[in-house]
Amino acid sequence: MLPHRYFLSQAAIAIRDLGLVRDDVLYCPFPLFHVDATALTVVPSLLTGAAAAVARRFSASGFWNEIEKVGATVFDFMGATLSILDKAEPRDDDANNPVRLAWGVPVPDWVEQFEQRFDLQVVELYGSTEANIPIVQRFDSPRIKGSCGTVRPEFEIRIVDDNDDPLGPGEVGELLVRPRHAHTMFSGYYGSPDATVEVIANLWFHTGDLAKTDDRGNVYFIGRRKEVIRRRGENISAIDLEEAILAHPVVAECAVVAVPSELTEDDIKAVVKLREGMTLTPEELLLFCETNLARFQVPRYLEFVTTMPKTPTGKIEKFRFVDPPFNARTWDATKGGYLAILYSQ
């Protein structure tokens, strides 16, 4: 449940910290039911007098044509959007577009190359439907590598352990958020008072995300708590692994999930979609992972798919790869073959 003031607050933060102005055309490739389209595109346009351009859906092949058509100066991204755009074949006129700024999450390590290629600025932030956008890397502040920004004056945050006790700089824990002004975060889950009370324990909203801070107040998003993989005593970020695998020139999209391990804890499965017309063997991808990742991070299981199941906002539906966790297309690096063949022997 979202109060009217929530939308006005979120739009005002975006206008201030992203530097949005009346002459902008704000382009959003996600549906209107998502806050990126409503609170961060339509409402800022109403408040500034800028134009809002909302696409029916994200299209990798049609993205830049639509940007040109509407004259977009700002666009937002999430998930693998930047990686998908970056995987497109380079063109001599890549930098000849009207965009000056793109904002969203996550921001990959190679973001400077993306900025140079398309002649624009990328700004990272942290937000959720419940929590508004409490953390932003301002458009006029220098980028701190790996950080999603600093806490906005409208909010307070804490990084806590499993007992909700505060942790110090550099320590990873759950990110908690609360507002300094009434009605600027969600009011609760409709028809679910028990779930509301659980998530606002101790009067702090528990995001379910892992993060850390440094001694200068910069916040670093580590990953969703439920997506952190526990393997051989190590905590592994699925996001970090996905970014590393996406660095392979043939890989178009990637999803990393935890699957059951015969040694207790978790094992790692990487699901990969290749660029159109490209080929890659499991052995070649495994070698790439072994070369670029720590030993405990290398996936045991690999799957190649032709399409990635996604939500209307373009997020990969990872749950489809863990229920069931294995199938005939699953390649087991430990046993050196596809499960369908191994089981038939």
- Residue 173 has a pLDDT of 95
- Residue 115 has a pLDDT of 97
Each residue's pLDDT tens digit, 79-127 = 778 888 998 889 999 999 999 999 998 888 899 999 999 999 999 999 9
For the record, the structure tokens of 232 come out as 């051989």
Ordered structural domains, the chain, with CATH? 4-224 (3.40.50.12780), 232-344 (3.30.300.30)
Sheet of strand 331-332, all strands in order from the earlier edge strand to the far edge: 251-260, 266-274, 301-305, 331-332, 337-338
The pTM for the full model equals 0.82
Please count the CA atoms within 13 angstroms of the CA of 82 that sit on its side-chain side. Answer: 29
Q: Is residue 135 within 8 Å of 150, Cβ to Cβ?
A: yes
Residue tagged 């906005």 (tokens)? 152
Strands (E), 121-217: 121-128, 132-136, 149-151, 155-160, 173-179, 205-213
- Residue 344 has a pLDDT of 54
Q: Please name the residues in contact with 240: beta carbons below 8 A apart, sequence gap of 6 or more.
A: 223, 297
- Mean pLDDT, 10 residues at a time, the chain of 345 residues: 97 98 96 92 98 91 95 92 89 96 91 96 96 97 94 98 95 96 96 95 94 96 85 84 92 93 86 93 95 93 94 86 90 87 57
Each residue's pLDDT tens digit, 41-88 = 999 999 999 999 999 888 888 999 999 999 999 999 987 788 889 988
Q: Is residue 302 within 8 Å of 274, Cβ to Cβ?
A: no
- Residue 222 has a pLDDT of 87
Q: Is residue 314 within 8 Å of 250, Cβ to Cβ?
A: no
- Residue 340 has a pLDDT of 67
